[in-house]
């Protein structure tokens, strides 16, 4: 055990010493990745990138604002169904356009408006009651997606979703191949991370963190905390809608599963494993949570037990997640 700890500390020291070079190497690796792996692993990577955006969107609520939403899948599913309704060739859909310059703003605006409506009621509660009311809204939407079959396709969902494209006049490009979609998802991950980083490092972000630490004190200082939490709720919902849009455009199918409570639970686990309030942590958590069952299940039928043990180990020995564990090692070394 001591040997393993020593090796971990040595690895952490090397990472800190050569961080700029390692980041550059990771960027180069990310760019050449589609050309050096099989299509199966490329598909897994695209899925991880999409869920990384989803996890970062929840981190704005849970990690930075202290809002434990258990219905965040509602916004993932709304983005999924809305883009399917816009672009699918299915008889249920409108089949209007697959142009990202039009569909992307439309999806974000639609999901943001629904988040505003849900937040108006949900944010009047707090703690466990907020968690339960967000779960209730998500399950209500999940039930609607199954029962309103004339619009949503019922339990079968909406198929035939078109891949995203960018069209400007006579110029048009479709992200129909895995390789091109990988670069699109990678670009959205970097853009989402940069935008969320700007938000959390802005006066709005500092206010949200103040609400997380002590909302009563922020109210006493004159802040209308309801509307600041509403801003976080709407922004987080919009980014989750973006993730839902990409998820459906990749799999070409929108289903009620996108709205189910288990999807909300899965992204919550991603935050716990990766580390809340970090933005980088959700990316790491998304990678581990999505890849672990897919990779381990090929070696053993008991992968669910191993996954459960892994999550228990994080809760007991690394409650601040992967990134929190790395930061703690760095503080121990500097101290």
Of 41 and 89, the one with more pLDDT: 41
How many residues comprise the chain?
A: 335
- Residue 1: the pLDDT is 41
Most confident of 17-26, 197-206, 261-270: 197-206
Q: When comparing pLDDT for 153 and 18, which is higher? A: 153
Q: What is the DSSP string of 98-119?
A: -BHHHHHHHHHHHHHHHHHHHH
pLDDT at position 140 is 94
More confident residue, 85 or 206: 206
pLDDT of residue 204 exceeding 80, the answer is: yes
Averaging pLDDT over each range in 9-23, 140-154, 237-251, 266-280, which range is the top one?
237-251
Q: Hey, what's the torsion of the CAs at 115, 188, 57, 50, to 10 degrees?
A: 100
Q: Is the pLDDT of residue 174 over 70?
A: yes
Domain boundaries, the chain: 1-36, 42-259
Crossing angle of the two packed helices 73-87 and 127-147, in degrees rounded to 10: 30
Output the pLDDT for position 82: 93
Percent over 90 (pLDDT), the chain: 53
Q: pLDDT averaged over the chain?
A: 86
Q: Residue 307: is its pLDDT beyond 50?
A: yes
How many Cβ atoms are within 10 Å of 136's Cβ, its own excluded?
A: 14
Rounded to whole angstroms, how far apart are CA atoms 217 and 83? Answer: 41
What number is the average pLDDT over the span 291-319?
81
In this prediction, residue 308 carries a pLDDT of 82
Is the predicted pLDDT of residue 7 greater than 70, yes or no?
Answer: no
User: Which two tokens mark 253?
Assistant: 């199918």
pLDDT of residue 138: 94
Highest mean pLDDT among 82-91, 149-158, 179-188, 325-334: 179-188
CA pair distance 11, 17, nearest whole angstrom: 10
> What is residue 153's DSSP assignment?
-
CB 244 within 8 A of CB 80: yes
């Amino acid at each position: 055990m001591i040997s393993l700890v020593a090796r971990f500390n040595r690895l952490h020291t090397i990472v800190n010493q050569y961080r700029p070079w390692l980041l550059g190497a990771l960027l180069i690796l990310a760019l050449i990745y589609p050309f050096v792996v099989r299509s199966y692993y490329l598909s897994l990577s695209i899925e991880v990138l999409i869920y990384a955006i989803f996890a970062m969107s929840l981190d704005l609520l849970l990690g930075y604002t202290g809002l434990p939403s258990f219905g965040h899948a509602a916004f993932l599913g709304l983005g999924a169904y809305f883009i399917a309704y816009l672009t699918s060739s299915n008889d249920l859909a409108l089949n209007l356009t697959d142009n990202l310059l039009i569909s992307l703003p439309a999806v974000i605006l639609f999901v943001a408006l629904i988040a505003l409506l849900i937040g108006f009621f949900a944010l009047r509660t707090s703690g466990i009651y907020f968690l339960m009311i967000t779960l209730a809204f998500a399950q209500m939407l999940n039930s609607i997606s199954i029962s309103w079959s004339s619009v949503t396709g019922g339990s079968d969902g909406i198929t035939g979703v078109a891949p995203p494209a960018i069209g400007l006049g006579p110029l048009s490009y479709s992200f129909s191949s895995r390789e091109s979609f990988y670069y699109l998802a990678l670009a959205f991950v970097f853009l989402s991370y940069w935008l969320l980083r700007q938000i959390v490092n802005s006066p709005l972000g500092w206010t949200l963190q103040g609400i997380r630490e002590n909302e009563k004190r922020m109210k006493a200082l004159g802040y209308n905390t309801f509307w600041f939490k509403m801003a976080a709720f709407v922004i987080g919902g919009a980014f989750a809608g973006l993730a839902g849009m990409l998820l459906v455009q990749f799999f070409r199918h929108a289903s009620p599963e996108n709205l189910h409570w288990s999807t909300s639970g899965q992204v919550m686990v991603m935050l716990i494993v990766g580390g809340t309030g970090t933005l980088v942590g959700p990316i790491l958590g998304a990678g581990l949570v999505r890849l672990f069952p897919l990779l381990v299940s090929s070696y053993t039928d008991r992968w669910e037990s191993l996954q459960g043990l892994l999550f228990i180990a994080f809760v007991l020995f690394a409650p601040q997640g992967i990134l929190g564990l790395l930061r703690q090692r760095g503080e121990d070394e500097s101290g």
